[in-house]
Each structure stands twice: as C-alpha cells, then as structure tokens.
Structure 1
Amino acid sequence: MDRALDPALVHRRRRIRVAVAIVSLALAVLACWQLNRLLRPSVAASDIVISTVRRGDVANTVSAAGVVIPVHEEVVASPAASRVARVLARPGQQVKAGDVLLELDDREIVLAVDTLREQLAQQESRVATSKLELEQKHKQLASAIELLELDLLSSRALNERNQKLRLNGLVSGENLLAGELAVKRAEIQLRQQRELIADSRRATAASIAAATLQQDILKKQLAQQERKLAQAKVAAPFSGMLTTLVQEEGASVAAGQLLARVSELNNYRVEATLSDFHARLLAPGQAVRVEQNGEVLPGRVHTVLPEIQNGTVKLLVDLDKPDNPLLRNKMRVDVNIVTAQKQDVLVLDSGMAFNGSGAQAAFAVVDGVARRTTLQLGGGDGKLVEVVRGARPGERYIVSDTKAFANLDSIRITN
C-alpha cells in the first residue's frame, strides 16, 4: 500500500523544477542575446567620426575652384614683325622699371626712320622753295604794277589835256577817244596785275598747305617709327616679377606677339570659377574664405564677371592680405563664398555622411548603438552644417562616411 509523499519533499521538488526552468530561460535569453551580438553588424569606433549636436554660428557657403593671380600685370608685345636679337633676362627674375629684357632686330625700322627723315627734309625744302618763289613773283608783279600805275597817270594827264584842247577845237574827236581808251586800257591792265598777285598768293598758299600737310603726316609716321625703334629694346614697364619671356634668340616674332609679361610682386587676388547654377547667389562684397594648406585667407568678392562660359561663372576676389607670403602666382586654392550667415542655431560637424541640404538619413548614437533616423539639414560652410529639424542639443550622430551600412536600421559600435 502506497504512502503519500511528504508535503515538504513535494514543495522542494517543485521549487527545484521552477528554478531549473528559470535558469534554463535565462540561459536561453543570454544565448539569444549573444547570438544577436554575433550576428548584428558592427563598426569599430575608431573607424567612424561622431559629432555632438550643439548651438553655434554657421555660414552658408558655395565652393569654387580658385587660382591666385596678380592684381597688376602688364604684357609687352612686339611693335613690328622682327626677330629676337638678344635675350637679357629670364622668367622668374625680379626686374625694375626700365630694365631691358630683350632686344629685337631693328635694322628695318632704322631704314624706315632714315627714309622718313629724308622725305620730311624734301617736304621742308619744298615749302621753303614755294615761299621763295612767291616772294620773287610778288616782287615782279609789284614792279609791273608800279610801271602800270605810272602809265595810268600819264594816260590820264594826256586825256585831261586833250579834253581842254577839244573845247578850243585844237584836238580832233578821234584823238580824244584814243586818249580815253588808253586810260581804260591802263586801268584794266593794273586791275589784272593786282588780281594776278592775289591769285598767285592763293595758289602758293594752297601749295604750301598741301606740302605742310604732307610734312605733318611724315612727322607722325616718323614719330611712330621712332617709337618702334625705342620699343625694339623691350623693357620692363614697372618693377615686378618677369613671368613670361621669349627666350630663343633668332626666333621670328609677328607684330603684336607676346614678348614678355611682368607681374606685380606681393599683391595678389584670386580668380574663382564655379557652376553657373550658383550665379544667382553671387554678389560683389560677399565674404570669401580662401583655403590653402589648411590656412584660411579672408577676402571679399570684388567683381562677378557677367559672361558665362561652358556652364561656369567667374569672379574676382580681393584678399584682406594680398601680400601673404603663402601666395604664389597661378597657385590653386579652394574658395568658399559666404552667401548667408546664421547665428545661435543647432549645428553638427560637417562630414561625408551629409550631402547638401534637405532631409537626409543619419545615424544617431545611443548606448553604443547607431540607429537610423532622418535629419533636416540647412546650409553649411564645409566645417559645420546646420540642423534645422530632427535633433536636440547633446545628441550624437555619425558624420563620417556611412555608405557601408546605409541600408541598415541600426549598427553596433565596438571599441
């Protein structure tokens, strides 16, 4: 006959079974948690960059590619077709105003100068000869006029005597008429001689004026050739750096061809190029940050060039310190043009996780896990980006490249 179990034993066995069940459940949960840790994607903390949301000032900027150029630069061109006779300088050399850089073959110019001087001398001789001929002819005509005036006086005196004698019947009518005609003939001859003097003066004056005009033309041509002769010795227009120079002696050069370029030392500006998509945002006076080897050089937009070429717009930037020793002619720099400035807004460090403005996916870091969320971003200046919506101060976000886990909802961060 079976006996009933001791109630204490029954309770003890029940407690053991419950304890075993609880331990088994805990082990199962622990195993699942460990398995989840093994299977969940992770990223090392050293492989990412995390930034904390905070308040700060941020500038909206537009990036552009820039080239350092001199503020003042002059080009020296060939005055005429010639050849290089001597080269007296080299590119990269510092020169002073008036220093001869090279000499051109000036034999043809010298010949042209000599020819023009001879032609000018001929014209001067022609003018002097015309004046002398006018004086001689004037003297001859003046002498003839004096004689005609005497003849006219004599004819008038004879005519008056005949008129008195005619009253007494001592002179015939024919003789009286002949005397009157002699007076008229002398008056006509005298008037013709006087008109001949005026005509001679006008003709000679016109001849002298034509010769003088030709003389002036020759003087201008001579002055032009003399300038070319002086320019055959190519000199520096001002003190600066010789950046370009034709260096081959004997080389042929055409009229107007570039021979040398001189740039002002320690006075630079930046020529920036960017997409015409941003043209509406640009205006003179905007602040600019020029970056070179980690150093920021402040400046301002001086001019936005109106012409758009190949989908790009250019602008000139004046630097606050145009004589910065870091600057070199034709050096490439990064240019950030400030189009707007905001103060006391939420910001994050800029990074490859973000691309422009608007709604963007981001990973918020909480207790060693990065969870996917969405942030509304505003403008940035390349170092900071504005957080318009979706985050609070103190929250942490991955700002480095997240392409490797961009399709995941969460990722574990390991030490």
Structure 2
Amino acid sequence: MIKDTSAQDSVVMPKRRNGIKRLAIIAVALIAVALSAHAILNTASAAKSVDRASVQIATVERGDLVRDIAATGRIVAANAPQVYSPEEGLVTLLVRAGDSVSKGQQIARVDSPQLQNQLQQERSELARLEGELARKSLDARRQTLQLNKQLDLAKVELKAAERESRRANKSIKTNIISQIDYEKAEDELARARLTVTHAEQEVALAKDTLAFEVQAAENTLARQQLVVDELQRKVGNLTIAASVEGVVGNLFVTGRSLVTANQPLMTLVDLTAYEAEINVAESFANELGLGMDVELKIGRQTVMGKLSAISPEVAEREVTTRVRFDQSNLNQIRQNQQVTARVLLENRNDVLKVRRGSFLQSGGYVAYKLNGDIASRIDIETGATSMREVEILTGAMPGDQIIVSSYQGFAQAESILLR
C-alpha cells in the first residue's frame, strides 16, 4: 500500500519581514485613498481647473503708486528753422542736404533782376531829388540876397530922406524954403520909413518861405533815401545766410529753379539743443499739463524731462507733446531717434495696490483670490492705474494673492482649481 506524504511535510513559520512589508503596502494604499478623496472633494468644489503655470499670480501690497502714461516718440531739434526765399527769382543752392553749416555762412542766393532794376531806378530818383534840393538851396540864397539888397537900398533912401528932413527943418525956420517944399520933404521921409518897414517884413517872410521849401525838399529826399535803403536791404537778403550752427536738413527746391517770395527752400537743424516729441493717446489728453515730469529712455540711457508744450489739436487719435530734458550727460543722440517715455501724472502715497495685468480687461470689478490650490471669485473695486500697478480700493487685503492674468478661459466660474 502507498503511504501519504505526511512524512515529508514540515511546518514552516512565517518570517517577521513579510509582516512589515504587508503593513507598508496597507499604509500606501490608505494614503492613496486619502489623496484621491481630497482631489475628488476639491474637484467637486471647483467648477474648472487650470494649469498653475498658465496663470500669473501677484500679491496685494501697500505702498506708493505713481500714475503714468506710456508713450513713444522721437528726438527732434528744439531749434530747426526753415529758410524762405526773400523774393521771386532764380535760386542757387550753395549747400547740400546733410552739409554742416556755421552761423552766418552763405547757403543760398536768389537772382532777382526785377528787384535790381527797381533799386537802380530808385537810386536815380534819389540823385534827382538831391539835385533838386541843391537847386532850391541856391534859389533860396539868391532870393534872400535880392531881398537884402532891396532892404539895404530902402535904408539908404531912408537916411537920405532923414537928411533932407533935417535940412528942410532948418530952412523953414529962416524962410529959405516954402511950406510946400518943407511938407514934401516930410512926406519923403515918411515914405522912406514905410519902405524900410515893408522891406524888412518881406525879407523875414521870404526867409521863412524859402526855409519851408528847402525843408520840404529835404523831407522828400529823406523819404526817397528810405526807399533806396529798403531796396538795398532786400537785395542784400537775396544772399541767404544760415541763422544757426548745425546741419542742412531737407531741401524743398532744386538748384536754379524759379521760386516765389516766401517759398520754403530748406530746413536747418541746430544740433546744440534737442527735444523729445512724444505722442500721447487721446484718452489721456485732458490729464496732461505743462511742467509734468517725464521719464525718457533714449537707447540705453534714461533721463528725466518736463512737458514744455502740448498741441491744442488731436491728430490720428493722438496728442503731440514736447519734452525738454538735460542732455549734458548724453552722448550720440540724433535727430529722429526713437524714444520711449513715461509721463508721470500723479503720485499716490500709502495705497493698496497689485501688479497690473490682463485681469483689468474684465472690467476691474472682479478678481480670483487664491486659497491654497483654489482660486475663488471676489468682487473688487479698482482706482488709479499706472503702467505697472493698479490701485485696489475694496475687495482685497494686503498679503492676498490674486490672479492677474486674463480671465478669458475661466468662463466666470465661482472657483478655479490650480493643478
């Protein structure tokens, strides 16, 4: 008969090590169940879930906020005068675009035969009036001499009449002459005295008349001299000189072309003084004011300046402004060089603020506040904004973390899970 295997069986005792392993497996299972339950609970409480790396988070803090405006512009010459043609004629350009010029250097010349001819005619008229004045002066001297001669003769006749009168007085006393002869001598004396008086008055009147005529001729000559001087000035201006030291900018005409009076010829750029021309959005036009501080970034250099001019009109939904800045420490700045600017509108002290972001596109009245991995929707009220920060008036406290990126994908959910 066949025996069973009981004789071959032996009792094997379990090892302690297997028990520890079993406990570890049970613990891991419990932890996994707990995590799964937590995730299920959180997922159930959050309407949507997004990747944490896809959102931007900022901390609400208290501090100073500077309201500013971002703008762009270019460097322009503070002094860039235009050169105009003084008269109609043919222009000859003595410089080319980009040439360096010094103050007083001749840069263009206008040939105006009409103006030259007019100057010669007026000079001829001036010479004629000078001759006329000289002739009137000679006539005045001649007439004065003639009148003085008549006065002297009248005085001689007066002396003769006085002598005859004395002789007649002596003769009448001794009855040498008749009464008629005596009275005749007295009449001759009276006539001589009257002739001298009238001659003196005529000489005085003639002198005044001749002086007036000479003065009128001198005034006419002086007026003509002014006409000649003005034409000489205009002829002198036909040679155009540079009013500033710098370079020639744009040329508006070509050489030997016909130009009219006051037609622009070229621009001169003064390289010793620059300004920044900044274009500001129309929405900020009412907030701009002269003297506001402006931070300019020119290449790698940053300088401070002040608003010096604001255009009264809006062009292409922008307002053009001018900024003066200290360029003593700047180098290698050029005309039309591009710049970026921050116009500092206002400085608010001790306000609640957060980093500016795309969440403002939602209207600035809602935000998502973080609590662990859950971002809950809260109502907020925003105030002043700057390029980098935005003021929080209500709805948040210092130290709160909110999502500042766009809420477009949140679908206005009450809570968001960040995974």
What TM-score do the two structures reach when normalised by structure 1?
A: 0.78
* Cα distance change of structure 1 residues 355 and 216 upon mapping to structure 2, 3 Å threshold: farther
Any conservation in 2 of the 1:374–1:390 contact (CA below 8 Å)? yes
- 1:72 and 2:79 aligned: yes
Match of 2:6 in 1: none
Match of 1:113 in 2: 119
* Cα distance change of structure 1 residues 55 and 401 upon mapping to structure 2, 3 Å threshold: same
* Cα distance change of structure 1 residues 214 and 42 upon mapping to structure 2, 3 Å threshold: farther
Q: Which runs of 5+ in 1 are unaligned?
A: 1-22
Q: After superposition, give the CA deviation of every residue in 1:308-335 in whole Å (9 maximum; x if it has no partner).
A: 6689866543223377447544556554
- 1:409 and 2:414 aligned: yes
* Cα distance change of structure 1 residues 47 and 329 upon mapping to structure 2, 3 Å threshold: farther
Match of 1:381 in 2: 386
Q: Which runs of 5+ in 2 are unaligned?
A: 1-29
Any conservation in 2 of the 1:353–1:398 contact (CA below 8 Å)? yes
Match of 1:176 in 2: 182
Q: Structure 1 counterpart of 2:82, which letter?
A: V
Q: For residues 251 and 257 of structure 1, what CA distance do their matches in structure 2 show?
A: 12
Q: For residues 96 and 51 of structure 2, what CA distance do their matches in structure 1 show?
A: 57
Any conservation in 2 of the 1:267–1:322 contact (CA below 8 Å)? no
Match of 2:401 in 1: 396
Q: For residues 381 and 107 of structure 2, what CA distance do their matches in structure 1 show?
A: 61
Any conservation in 2 of the 1:42–1:413 contact (CA below 8 Å)? yes
Percent identity over the alignment? 22
Deviation at residue 64 of structure 1 after TM alignment? 5.5
Match of 1:239 in 2: 245
Map 1:201-220 onto structure 2 (within 5 A).
Answer: 201-220=207-226
SS at match of 1:73: coil
Deviation at residue 379 of structure 1 after TM alignment? 1.9
- 1:286 and 2:292 aligned: yes
- 1:58 and 2:85 aligned: no
- 1:99 and 2:105 aligned: yes
SS at match of 1:289: strand
- 1:363 and 2:359 aligned: no
Q: For residues 156 and 325 of structure 1, what CA distance do their matches in structure 2 show?
A: 103
Match of 1:13 in 2: none
Q: For residues 299 and 171 of structure 2, what CA distance do their matches in structure 1 show?
A: 126
Match of 2:172 in 1: 166
What RMSD over aligned residues (CA atoms) do the two structures have, in Å?
3.6
Match of 1:221 in 2: 227
Q: For residues 177 and 66 of structure 1, what CA distance do their matches in structure 2 show?
A: 111
Deviation at residue 266 of structure 1 after TM alignment? 4.5
Q: Point out the more displaced range, 361-370 or 149-158.
A: 361-370
Any conservation in 2 of the 1:346–1:388 contact (CA below 8 Å)? yes
SS at match of 2:140: helix
Match of 1:320 in 2: 326
* Cα distance change of structure 1 residues 314 and 406 upon mapping to structure 2, 3 Å threshold: farther
Give aligned pairs, total.
385
SS at match of 1:242: strand
Q: For residues 157 and 297 of structure 1, what CA distance do their matches in structure 2 show?
A: 107
Any conservation in 2 of the 1:268–1:322 contact (CA below 8 Å)? no
What TM-score do the two structures reach when normalised by structure 2?
A: 0.77
